[in-house]
Amino acid sequence: MFISYAWESEDHRAWVRKLADKLLSDGIEAIVDQYDLNLGDRLPQFMEQSVTAADYVLIVCAPTYKAKADARVGGVGYEGHIISEELYSKRNERKFIPVLKSGTFEESVPTYLAGKLGIDLSNGLDGENYENLVATLFHAKKKPPVRRSRYSAVTSDRAAVQDNDEPIRIVGIIVDEVTEPRNDGTPGSALYRVPFRLSRTPSSLWKQLFLQTWDSPPRWSTMHRPGIASVSGDKIILDGTTIEEVRDVHRETLLLCVDKANALETHYLELQRKEEERKRRQHEEHKSNVMRIADDITF
């Protein structure tokens, strides 16, 4: 996630740095010039690569930013060209999120972002608005599911399927629980544990399906490590890897295995529901048959 902002004052830069620190502490890879730009780097190349490669771009909006962006002045103006081009060519609207630092949205949001729903952090980085931003970045915003009404007359098999929670997702890496390598020269001493927070605690069936899929995934690279995964509570733990391996190798396999476990669990639960429904109907048919014949028997 890349943070775009105007260099308008030291206080403003400090606020942006505080925002980046808070996002990093919440498991979000926040790219910002104050940390990721080095002496000798080319500013246009850094801005272009950061905007293009990011999953999200947070645009810290203030009246100064709008003025520079609309006039295409300086680095903000150059970033405006890049963002406008990506909005036009890729139609990736949700990638770019206005974050209000000061002023009003009308005074602070650039013209090329007009009409986009942003987040107001002008009153600080603690509270519901910030939590809503983090939930958006993790795709974890949850709308309560529609429950079947007791007044509903729907009786189809589809409506009879038991309501389930949302599919499980990986929320992020639990940074504070990543262990340190022993580095004592013994085999595997450079490896350590990396835990991942799940969106909810999975069932025992899901855990079993995930571990089976991890040990024999549909797709993997030569760097895949079967047998290192475990599931405890609402965590997946890879015990015997590195954060670099997670980034370069395991991330895609983790996503694949979570999706596969979700799909398999849904499939097995549906089979179980159908079997229970078959037994229920068999029982009712038997009872009905017994009662019908019993009525014809007199003593």
8-state DSSP, 216: S
**Tens digit of pLDDT for each residue in 159-198?**
333 445 689 999 999 999 999 999 999 998 999 999 999 9
Regions of the chain with pLDDT less than 70:
86-92, 140-165
- Helix, strand or coil, per DSSP, at residue 139: coil
Residue 143 confidence (pLDDT):
66
Residue 228 confidence (pLDDT):
95
Residue 153 confidence (pLDDT):
41
For residues 112 and 80, is the Cβ–Cβ distance under 8 A?
Answer: yes
- Helix, strand or coil, per DSSP, at residue 121: coil
C-alpha closest to that of 164 among 212, 217, 200: 200
Residue 161 confidence (pLDDT):
34
Bridge partners of 239, per DSSP, are 193
